[in-house]
Protein backbone atom coordinates (compact mmCIF):
# COMPACT_ATOMS: atom_id res chain seq x y z
CA UNK A 1 0.00 0.00 0.00
CA UNK A 2 2.77 2.39 0.83
CA UNK A 3 4.52 1.58 -2.46
CA UNK A 4 1.33 2.18 -4.44
CA UNK A 5 0.65 5.46 -2.65
CA UNK A 6 4.18 6.63 -3.34
CA UNK A 7 3.84 5.90 -7.07
CA UNK A 8 0.49 7.71 -7.20
CA UNK A 9 2.01 10.74 -5.45
CA UNK A 10 4.98 10.73 -7.87
CA UNK A 11 2.70 10.64 -10.91
CA UNK A 12 0.63 13.54 -9.60
CA UNK A 13 3.52 15.83 -8.68
CA UNK A 14 5.94 14.87 -11.50
CA UNK A 15 6.26 17.58 -14.20
CA UNK A 16 4.71 16.63 -17.49
CA UNK A 17 6.98 16.20 -20.49
CA UNK A 18 5.33 18.85 -22.72
CA UNK A 19 5.38 21.41 -19.92
CA UNK A 20 8.97 20.60 -19.11
CA UNK A 21 10.04 20.99 -22.71
CA UNK A 22 7.90 24.07 -23.30
CA UNK A 23 10.47 26.33 -21.62
CA UNK A 24 13.12 25.28 -24.13
CA UNK A 25 11.02 26.06 -27.21
CA UNK A 26 11.83 29.81 -27.34
CA UNK A 27 15.51 29.03 -26.93
CA UNK A 28 15.32 26.39 -29.67
CA UNK A 29 13.46 28.66 -32.08
CA UNK A 30 15.89 31.49 -31.38
CA UNK A 31 18.89 29.27 -32.10
CA UNK A 32 17.30 27.92 -35.29
CA UNK A 33 16.41 31.39 -36.52
CA UNK A 34 19.94 32.62 -35.89
CA UNK A 35 21.37 29.59 -37.69
CA UNK A 36 19.04 30.13 -40.63
CA UNK A 37 20.01 33.79 -40.91
CA UNK A 38 23.68 32.85 -40.78
CA UNK A 39 23.27 30.22 -43.53
CA UNK A 40 21.25 32.62 -45.70
CA UNK A 41 23.86 35.35 -45.28
CA UNK A 42 26.68 32.90 -46.08
CA UNK A 43 24.93 31.71 -49.25
CA UNK A 44 24.24 35.29 -50.34
CA UNK A 45 27.80 36.51 -49.70
CA UNK A 46 29.47 33.41 -51.09
CA UNK A 47 27.41 33.40 -54.31
CA UNK A 48 30.18 34.87 -56.53
CA UNK A 49 32.63 32.31 -55.14
CA UNK A 50 30.27 29.51 -56.15
CA UNK A 51 30.08 30.93 -59.67
CA UNK A 52 33.87 31.16 -59.92
CA UNK A 53 34.26 27.60 -58.64
CA UNK A 54 31.68 26.27 -61.10
CA UNK A 55 33.36 28.03 -64.04
CA UNK A 56 36.79 26.72 -62.97
CA UNK A 57 35.61 23.11 -62.67
CA UNK A 58 33.78 23.17 -66.00
CA UNK A 59 36.74 24.86 -67.70
CA UNK A 60 39.14 22.26 -66.31
CA UNK A 61 37.15 19.39 -67.80
CA UNK A 62 36.88 21.18 -71.14
CA UNK A 63 40.58 22.08 -71.22
CA UNK A 64 41.68 18.53 -70.42
CA UNK A 65 39.25 17.14 -72.97
CA UNK A 66 40.75 19.24 -75.77
CA UNK A 67 44.40 18.97 -74.70
CA UNK A 68 44.81 15.50 -73.20
CA UNK A 69 41.95 13.21 -74.16
CA UNK A 70 41.08 13.93 -77.79
CA UNK A 71 44.75 14.19 -78.94
CA UNK A 72 45.50 10.94 -77.11
CA UNK A 73 42.82 9.08 -79.08
CA UNK A 74 42.81 10.65 -82.53
CA UNK A 75 45.41 12.35 -84.68
CA UNK A 76 45.21 16.07 -85.27
CA UNK A 77 43.04 17.18 -88.21
CA UNK A 78 41.75 13.68 -88.88
CA UNK A 79 38.08 13.13 -89.63
CA UNK A 80 37.33 11.68 -86.20
CA UNK A 81 39.26 14.46 -84.45
CA UNK A 82 37.33 17.14 -86.36
CA UNK A 83 33.96 15.50 -85.59
CA UNK A 84 34.66 15.08 -81.88
CA UNK A 85 36.08 18.59 -81.65
CA UNK A 86 32.90 19.94 -83.22
CA UNK A 87 30.71 17.97 -80.79
CA UNK A 88 32.76 19.11 -77.78
CA UNK A 89 32.67 22.73 -78.97
CA UNK A 90 28.90 22.59 -79.45
CA UNK A 91 28.40 21.22 -75.93
CA UNK A 92 30.79 23.81 -74.48
CA UNK A 93 28.99 26.70 -76.15
CA UNK A 94 25.56 25.58 -74.94
CA UNK A 95 26.77 24.99 -71.38
CA UNK A 96 28.31 28.44 -70.99
CA UNK A 97 25.56 30.22 -72.95
CA UNK A 98 22.74 28.85 -70.78
CA UNK A 99 24.76 29.25 -67.58
CA UNK A 100 25.39 32.92 -68.35
CA UNK A 101 21.73 33.57 -69.17
CA UNK A 102 20.54 31.74 -66.06
CA UNK A 103 22.84 33.80 -63.84
CA UNK A 104 22.10 37.16 -65.47
CA UNK A 105 18.35 36.75 -66.13
CA UNK A 106 16.04 38.07 -63.45
CA UNK A 107 13.61 35.32 -62.43
CA UNK A 108 10.75 37.80 -62.18
CA UNK A 109 9.07 39.58 -59.29
CA UNK A 110 5.56 40.99 -58.84
CA UNK A 111 5.31 44.63 -59.82
CA UNK A 112 4.31 47.54 -57.64
CA UNK A 113 0.94 47.80 -59.36
CA UNK A 114 -1.89 48.08 -56.86
CA UNK A 115 -4.02 44.99 -57.44
CA UNK A 116 -6.69 45.74 -54.84
CA UNK A 117 -10.13 44.72 -56.16
CA UNK A 118 -11.89 47.58 -57.88
CA UNK A 119 -15.40 47.50 -59.30
CA UNK A 120 -14.50 49.14 -62.62
CA UNK A 121 -11.47 46.95 -63.23
CA UNK A 122 -13.28 43.79 -62.26
CA UNK A 123 -16.19 44.74 -64.44
CA UNK A 124 -13.90 45.35 -67.40
CA UNK A 125 -12.04 42.08 -66.85
CA UNK A 126 -15.30 40.20 -66.06
CA UNK A 127 -13.77 38.72 -62.91
CA UNK A 128 -15.70 38.46 -59.67
CA UNK A 129 -14.27 39.83 -56.44
CA UNK A 130 -14.14 36.40 -54.81
CA UNK A 131 -12.19 34.88 -57.71
CA UNK A 132 -9.85 37.86 -57.82
CA UNK A 133 -9.04 37.72 -54.11
CA UNK A 134 -8.61 33.96 -54.28
CA UNK A 135 -6.10 34.25 -57.10
CA UNK A 136 -4.13 37.22 -55.71
CA UNK A 137 -2.36 36.86 -52.37
CA UNK A 138 -0.38 39.46 -50.44
CA UNK A 139 3.21 39.21 -49.20
CA UNK A 140 3.57 40.76 -45.75
CA UNK A 141 7.35 41.13 -46.12
CA UNK A 142 7.51 42.73 -49.57
CA UNK A 143 4.12 44.45 -49.32
CA UNK A 144 3.35 43.32 -52.85
CA UNK A 145 0.78 41.02 -54.46
CA UNK A 146 1.69 37.35 -54.77
CA UNK A 147 0.32 35.56 -57.84
CA UNK A 148 -0.05 31.77 -57.82
CA UNK A 149 3.17 29.81 -57.13
CA UNK A 150 5.00 32.98 -56.05
CA UNK A 151 7.18 32.56 -52.97
CA UNK A 152 9.28 34.91 -50.89
CA UNK A 153 12.99 34.09 -51.05
CA UNK A 154 14.57 34.55 -47.63
CA UNK A 155 18.02 34.84 -49.27
CA UNK A 156 17.23 37.42 -51.97
CA UNK A 157 14.62 39.12 -49.72
CA UNK A 158 12.02 39.42 -52.47
CA UNK A 159 9.13 37.50 -54.02
CA UNK A 160 9.92 35.33 -57.04
CA UNK A 161 7.42 34.40 -59.73
CA UNK A 162 7.04 30.63 -60.07
CA UNK A 163 9.94 30.10 -57.69
CA UNK A 164 11.67 26.73 -57.92
CA UNK A 165 14.58 27.27 -55.53
CA UNK A 166 17.51 29.55 -54.80
CA UNK A 167 20.56 28.07 -56.50
CA UNK A 168 23.88 29.06 -54.88
CA UNK A 169 25.78 27.95 -58.00
CA UNK A 170 23.82 30.56 -59.97
CA UNK A 171 23.79 33.20 -57.23
CA UNK A 172 20.21 33.69 -58.31
CA UNK A 173 16.73 32.32 -57.80
CA UNK A 174 15.32 29.93 -60.36
CA UNK A 175 11.95 31.29 -61.35
CA UNK A 176 9.65 32.12 -64.22
CA UNK A 177 12.02 33.88 -66.62
CA UNK A 178 15.20 31.81 -66.15
CA UNK A 179 13.91 28.31 -65.46
CA UNK A 180 14.25 27.43 -69.14
CA UNK A 181 17.94 28.41 -69.14
CA UNK A 182 18.47 26.49 -65.90
CA UNK A 183 17.00 23.26 -67.23
CA UNK A 184 18.80 23.47 -70.58
CA UNK A 185 22.06 24.17 -68.74
CA UNK A 186 21.56 21.07 -66.60
CA UNK A 187 20.74 19.00 -69.69
CA UNK A 188 23.81 20.09 -71.66
CA UNK A 189 26.10 19.83 -68.63
CA UNK A 190 24.81 16.31 -67.99
CA UNK A 191 25.39 15.35 -71.63
CA UNK A 192 28.83 17.00 -71.65
CA UNK A 193 29.95 15.19 -68.50
CA UNK A 194 28.74 11.90 -69.95
CA UNK A 195 30.64 12.59 -73.17
CA UNK A 196 33.85 13.53 -71.32
CA UNK A 197 33.53 10.48 -69.08
CA UNK A 198 33.14 8.17 -72.09
CA UNK A 199 36.07 9.66 -73.98
CA UNK A 200 38.29 9.50 -70.89
CA UNK A 201 37.35 5.87 -70.32
CA UNK A 202 38.66 4.99 -73.79
CA UNK A 203 42.14 5.99 -72.65
CA UNK A 204 41.88 4.61 -69.12
CA UNK A 205 40.76 1.14 -70.13
CA UNK A 206 43.00 0.87 -73.17
CA UNK A 207 45.60 -1.88 -73.10
CA UNK A 208 48.68 0.19 -72.36
CA UNK A 209 50.92 0.69 -69.35
CA UNK A 210 50.90 4.48 -69.47
CA UNK A 211 48.36 6.20 -67.24
CA UNK A 212 47.88 9.94 -67.40
CA UNK A 213 46.78 11.60 -64.17
CA UNK A 214 44.99 14.30 -66.17
CA UNK A 215 42.77 11.71 -67.84
CA UNK A 216 42.02 10.07 -64.49
CA UNK A 217 41.13 13.44 -62.95
CA UNK A 218 38.79 14.22 -65.85
CA UNK A 219 37.10 10.82 -65.58
CA UNK A 220 36.53 11.08 -61.82
CA UNK A 221 35.26 14.67 -61.94
CA UNK A 222 32.96 14.00 -64.91
CA UNK A 223 31.67 10.82 -63.25
CA UNK A 224 30.85 12.64 -60.01
CA UNK A 225 29.02 15.49 -61.75
CA UNK A 226 27.26 13.09 -64.13
CA UNK A 227 25.97 10.96 -61.27
CA UNK A 228 24.65 13.91 -59.25
CA UNK A 229 23.08 15.58 -62.28
CA UNK A 230 21.33 12.37 -63.34
CA UNK A 231 19.03 12.57 -60.31
CA UNK A 232 18.47 16.31 -60.70
CA UNK A 233 17.74 16.18 -64.44
CA UNK A 234 15.41 13.22 -63.94
CA UNK A 235 13.51 15.08 -61.21
CA UNK A 236 13.03 18.21 -63.33
CA UNK A 237 11.95 16.10 -66.30
CA UNK A 238 9.31 14.55 -64.08
CA UNK A 239 8.14 17.99 -62.92
CA UNK A 240 7.95 19.35 -66.46
CA UNK A 241 6.11 16.38 -67.91
CA UNK A 242 3.65 15.97 -65.04
CA UNK A 243 2.24 19.32 -63.92
CA UNK A 244 4.20 22.31 -65.19
CA UNK A 245 1.92 23.04 -68.17
CA UNK A 246 -0.97 23.94 -65.88
CA UNK A 247 1.34 25.99 -63.68
CA UNK A 248 2.58 27.92 -66.71
CA UNK A 249 -0.98 28.76 -67.75
CA UNK A 250 -1.82 30.15 -64.30
CA UNK A 251 1.25 32.37 -64.30
CA UNK A 252 0.68 33.59 -67.85
CA UNK A 253 -2.91 34.47 -66.99
CA UNK A 254 -1.72 36.59 -64.07
CA UNK A 255 0.91 38.40 -66.15
CA UNK A 256 -1.58 39.18 -68.92
CA UNK A 257 -4.09 40.47 -66.36
CA UNK A 258 -1.44 42.59 -64.66
CA UNK A 259 -0.42 44.23 -67.95
CA UNK A 260 -4.05 44.97 -68.80
CA UNK A 261 -4.53 46.63 -65.43
CA UNK A 262 -1.61 48.96 -66.07
Active site residues: 167
User: Distance (Å, rounded) from C-alpha 34 to C-alpha 203?
Assistant: 51
Strands 158-160 and 165-167: unpaired
Could you count the other beta carbons within 10 Å of the beta carbon of residue 229?
18
SS3 label, residue 111:
coil
Q: How far is CA 93 from CA 83, 99, 108, in A?
A: 15, 10, 26
SS3 label, residue 145:
strand
Could you count the other beta carbons within 10 Å of the beta carbon of residue 72?
16
SS3 label, residue 146:
strand
User: Distance (Å, rounded) from C-alpha 164 to C-alpha 137?
Assistant: 18
User: Distance (Å, rounded) from C-alpha 14 to C-alpha 92?
Assistant: 68
User: Distance (Å, rounded) from C-alpha 161 to C-alpha 138?
Assistant: 13
Q: Which of 207, 203, 227, 223 is nearest to 215 (CA)?
A: 203
Amino acid sequence: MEDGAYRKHARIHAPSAPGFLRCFRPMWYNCMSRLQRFVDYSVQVGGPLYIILAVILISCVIYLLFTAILPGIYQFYSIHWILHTAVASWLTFNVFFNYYNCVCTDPGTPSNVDLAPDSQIIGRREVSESNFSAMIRWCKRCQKPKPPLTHHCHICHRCILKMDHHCPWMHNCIGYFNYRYFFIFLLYLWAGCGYAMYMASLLLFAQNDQEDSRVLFTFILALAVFGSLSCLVGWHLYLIMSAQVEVMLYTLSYISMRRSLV
